[in-house]
Amino acid sequence: MRRLSQTQIRTWRTCPQKWKQVYLEGRREPPAPPLTFGSAVHSGLETFYRNRTAAPATPEEMLASFDDVLDRSAYDSDQAFERARDDGHAMLQAWYERHAPEFRPAMAVELALRYDIDDVPMISILDRVDLTATGRLRITDYKTGRFFLRDTARESQQLTLYQIAAEEKLERPVESLSLVHVPSDTEWEVPRRTAAEIDEVRRVVVDTANQIEQGAFEPRPGRHCEWCHVRPWCPAFADHYPENWPEQPDILQLSRDEVAELADALGQALSRKKQAEREIADLRDRLTSWFEVTGERAAAGSEFRIRATRSERDDDRVSWRLTPVELEPADEESRGEPV
């Protein structure tokens, strides 16, 4: 079974066809400003907390990490890229000034955990894990989008998966889950998920994995199609991109039901052929035995006359050639194929 992530589960539940295009056909999202900006900010924060000593990384180190990741190709112009770079630097500088005085090294940053949910292999990458004063875990996830909803921390399926992953792999209970909106430096911390909330997410994971195994990749059109990067290859939008959808040969336009009928018909025909071959072999054996014993070389019925030709080969083996001739009402003969 394929290893799943929260992003894959969310993509499938939004649109199975999109999941297929991205994860089976390999049509990954091209570099886009929000994605590369988010990755670069994560990298800067990872550098800040990665330091195991009592001091965080310097602002210069954070900004260098940011610059290493920010992808110029995602931006339309040098100006847009420079603006994003300045915004990112300002954001990380502000983070340093506010959080350096209270710095404590994280237990782990950008921690990739592989685990199972009821036999479904999963992977989660946790932005930051801290050890609390009581020896429990506090998990933090960073958000860098422009808008952010307060309730997300209570409802985030991603945070629930993080709790499941961390408790299984780090073998400590989770105390709290936290979402941090980096642009506004705002944090929402909520208590650990309840058993019922965890069961619900487990059910969603298993249900999604089963649907993926069944492989029905139906397009699910909706508002999300407006910003879907695989739309040019989506069957629901084939009319909009005729260059990607050349006319299919007739044979490819058969429905599943028609293909099923063809399969049955071929199976039945082959089965009849096998039965006929057995009958031919039996009749041929009996007639050649009769020709052999009687010395006759023809046998006539009401519809066919069978002509027999006997030949002996160099190795003394005998072979018979039997040729059916169809009898016309006026007894006119026409030649048949040997059997």
Contact 8, 15 (CB under 8 A): no
Interior CA angle at 61 toward 98 and 102, to 5°?
A: 25
Number of residues that bind ligand SF4 (CB under 6 A): 15
In single-letter form, the type of residue at position 271 comes to S
What secondary structure does DSSP assign to 113-169, as a single string? EEEEETTEEEEEEEEEEEE-TTS-EEEEEEE-SS---TTHHHH-HHHHHHHHHHHHH
Residue 234 as a binder of ligand SF4 (CB under 6 A): the answer is yes
Least separation in angstroms between residue 23's CB and ligand SF4 is 12
CA distances from 25 to 28, 78, 95, 215 (A): 9, 32, 39, 13
Residue 17 as a binder of ligand SF4 (CB under 6 A): the answer is yes
Token code pair at residue 181 = 């909106």
Task: Indicate the residue among 13 and 307 with the shorter CB distance to ligand SF4.
Answer: 13
Residue 115 as a binder of ligand SF4 (CB under 6 A): the answer is no
Candidate segments 144-152, 178-186, 232-240, 313-321, binder of ligand SF4 by CB under 6 A: 232-240
- How many other CB atoms are there within 10 angstroms of residue 2's CB atom? 11
Residue 220 as a binder of ligand SF4 (CB under 6 A): the answer is yes
Residue 217 as a binder of ligand SF4 (CB under 6 A): the answer is no
Least separation in angstroms between residue 212's CB and ligand SF4 is 15
As a whole number of angstroms, the distance between CA 212 and CA 161 comes to 19
Least separation in angstroms between residue 234's CB and ligand SF4 is 3
Residue 211 as a binder of ligand SF4 (CB under 6 A): the answer is no
As a whole number of angstroms, the distance between CA 14 and CA 22 comes to 13
Q: Is 72 helix (H, G, I), strand (E, B) or coil?
A: helix
Residue among 225, 299, 325, 339 that touches ligand SF4 (CB under 6 A): 225
Residue 13 as a binder of ligand SF4 (CB under 6 A): the answer is no
Residue 22 as a binder of ligand SF4 (CB under 6 A): the answer is no
Task: Indicate the residue among 111 and 228 with the shorter CB distance to ligand SF4.
Answer: 228
Residue 221 as a binder of ligand SF4 (CB under 6 A): the answer is yes
Residue 237 as a binder of ligand SF4 (CB under 6 A): the answer is yes
Task: Indicate the residue among 91 and 230 with the shorter CB distance to ligand SF4.
Answer: 230
Contact 33, 81 (CB under 8 A): no
Least separation in angstroms between residue 231's CB and ligand SF4 is 4
As a whole number of angstroms, the distance between CA 100 and CA 104 comes to 9
Candidate segments 30-38, 140-148, 191-199, 225-233, binder of ligand SF4 by CB under 6 A: 225-233
- How many other CB atoms are there within 10 angstroms of residue 183's CB atom? 17
Q: Contact positions toward ligand SF4, by CB under 6 A? A: 15, 17-18, 21, 219-221, 224-225, 228, 230-231, 234, 236-237
